[in-house]
Amino acid sequence: MEKQHRRELTFLHSGDFLRQNPGVPDRTLDDSSDHVKPQIKEMDFFSSQYQSHDHHQESKTDNNDNSNNNGSSSFVDSCVNIGLNLLSSGPGVSRSTNEEKPVNSNTQESALKTELENLNEENRRLRSMLDQITKNYNEVQGQLFMALQKQAHLNQGDQKDAVNGMAGTVMSVQQLMDSRASVALDVNEPSGSDDKTQELSASQENTVEVVSIKDGTDQTSQSWGSLKSPKLDQSKNEEQASDAPFRKARVSVRARSEAPLISDGCQWRKYGQKMAKGNPCPRAYYRCTMAVGCPVRKQVQRCADDKSILITTYEGNHNHPLPPAATAMANTTSAAAAMLLSGSTKSKDGLPSSAYFPSLPYASSMATLSASAPFPTITLDLTQGPNAVPFLRPPPSNASFPLPLNGYPQLLGSPMFSPPKLPAPPAMQLGHRPTSMVETVTAAIASDPNFTAALAAAISTIMGALPRNNGNSSINNDENNKSSNGVPAPALAAPGSPQAQQSCTTFSTKACNNKPG
């Protein structure tokens, strides 16, 4: 019976209103198995009304429930319209039926009562509808990612040889950060990766194809100034002014590769190089040159401990469409970043829990926060590849976010979904930017525990061989629910490099990373 709703969802979910329920994030895609909880936390204005009238409606409740279960399709159909009406007209939804009849007070009273009842009924229906839609939405989302994963597998199969592990390094930051949050995505190539692959070719279109929907509108990029030409200080100043406090979000990818540079689907221009303290290897600075003024920059540096590991750190938002190859990782990383920043998706420790990676049998998520880090950082450490032993780390004892992650709702330029979840802070309007489809999807993924699915998809690409068994496990609801409840966060990331240690949060597929000691 879900299918019937799916259609509605396809367009409904593009909006954010489904997301405005705090309750939703806790559920993941895979609701089917569990709870179709009638309780809807999301719509406050509904709930308030609902509560007040609930007793009235109890008798009717059953009817509605029945209709809900049985005649859902028609129900939903009508509800969609109703919802629209309701939004626009508020309390007057059904008023039109009986109004404007100046009568005596008694009549008015009765009329009001009738009206109230009607409203209550409608509220009930809307609630039910929302519930259904929410559920369906989650399901569709899950299916979507499953499909994407499958696609990724197929693609992987095609270019397995060429890509082999390389894909992992494919990445680009579609829209990372506006905020100071920093997300590190550590992707060390699977051991299979060959040294020969000098240029890591992006595995096209695998994975998160969904995201490949070009936005091109992203613009965002408030953070970094123009490409070179300091003269463009105007824009620079504006940008700085607008998001100076938020500009530090990052995604860093650790790839095990001998190649000096990772081809991630974007074009980069080197603008600087510097020796970093504590690392014999120089750090190179790159700017995205795929579009003029693209604010995205990246740093490339080899891990001091393991020079075979290439650490690529991305910063900024692309203000241009990305090739499929670039979008996959971009969205993953952005999702990670969003997740990090999304308070609701974190464990109470403020750390994303392992529950976020139920779909990664070989991945154990590590969430750590370094007090030394100037901003929250997520590190997805995938250095071990699929064969890595999956193990669950004991909950870290540290874990305490020095930074109020909730304070960065606009991360990744995903205002679309942020507002509903978080009280829209002024900053959001500040950095408001048109939300692209990509952003929307990304944000949707990110701000939801379902992020797991996205991550899984991307990682599947990265690793070049995602264990099929539970590609769909990504849609495990319970897991996510737990996570939001503060599941024992996995152990501290044991970043393989000093750099990684700087990161605040680390997700890793490595059993114990490449850390020698």
Task: Provide the minimum distance between the beta carbon of 45 and DNA in the complex, in angstroms, as a whole number.
Answer: 41
Q: Cβ closer to DNA: 1 or 275? A: 275
Q: Cβ closer to DNA: 297 or 433? A: 297
Task: Provide the minimum distance between the beta carbon of 213 and DNA in the complex, in angstroms, as a whole number.
Answer: 26
Cα 317 from Cα 315, distance rounded (Å): 7
Do 329 and 183 form a contact (C-beta atoms < 8 A)? no
Task: Provide the minimum distance between the beta carbon of 12 and DNA in the complex, in angstroms, as a whole number.
Answer: 40
Task: Provide the minimum distance between the beta carbon of 297 and DNA in the complex, in angstroms, as a whole number.
Answer: 5
Q: Cβ closer to DNA: 55 or 231? A: 231
Task: Provide the minimum distance between the beta carbon of 247 and DNA in the complex, in angstroms, as a whole number.
Answer: 9
Q: Cβ closer to DNA: 4 or 289? A: 289
Residues that bind DNA (CB under 7 A): 224-225, 228-231, 267-278, 283-286, 289, 297, 299, 315, 374
Do 181 and 408 form a contact (C-beta atoms < 8 A)? yes
Exposed e or buried b for every residue in 156-170, given b needs 16+ CB within 10 A? Answer: beebbeebbbbbbbb
Q: Cβ closer to DNA: 137 or 286? A: 286
Establish how many alpha carbons lie within 13 A of residue 445's alpha carbon, considering only the half-sphere containing its beta carbon.
33
Q: Cβ closer to DNA: 35 or 269? A: 269
Task: Provide the minimum distance between the beta carbon of 275 and DNA in the complex, in angstroms, as a whole number.
Answer: 7
- Minimal CA–CA distance to 435: which of 450, 454, 420? 420
Q: Cβ closer to DNA: 147 or 244? A: 244
Q: Where are the beta strands (DSSP E) in 257-409?
A: 268-275, 282-288, 297-302, 309-315, 377-381
Cα 441 from Cα 25, distance rounded (Å): 14
Task: Provide the minimum distance between the beta carbon of 288 and DNA in the complex, in angstroms, as a whole number.
Answer: 10
- Minimal CA–CA distance to 376: which of 396, 355, 399? 399
Cα 207 from Cα 303, distance rounded (Å): 27
DSSP-derived 3-state class of residue 261: strand
Q: Cβ closer to DNA: 298 or 482? A: 298
Task: Provide the minimum distance between the beta carbon of 280 and DNA in the complex, in angstroms, as a whole number.
Answer: 12
Cα 469 from Cα 360, distance rounded (Å): 10
Task: Provide the minimum distance between the beta carbon of 315 and DNA in the complex, in angstroms, as a whole number.
Answer: 7
Task: Provide the minimum distance between the beta carbon of 54 and DNA in the complex, in angstroms, as a whole number.
Answer: 51
Q: How far is CA 479 from the centre of its chain?
A: 16
- Written as six digits, the tokens of 435 are 């939300």
Concatenating the DSSP letter of every residue in 354-403 gives GGG-TT-TT-B------TTSSS-EEEEE-TT-TTSPP-PPPPPS----SS
Q: Cβ closer to DNA: 71 or 245? A: 245
For residue 500, the surrounding DSSP H or E stretch is: helix 498-502
Q: Cβ closer to DNA: 403 or 459? A: 403
Q: At 513, phi and psi to the nearest 5? A: 65, -175
- Minimal CA–CA distance to 296: which of 171, 400, 381, 442? 171
User: What type of residue is 112?
Assistant: L
- Written as six digits, the tokens of 208 are 């998160």
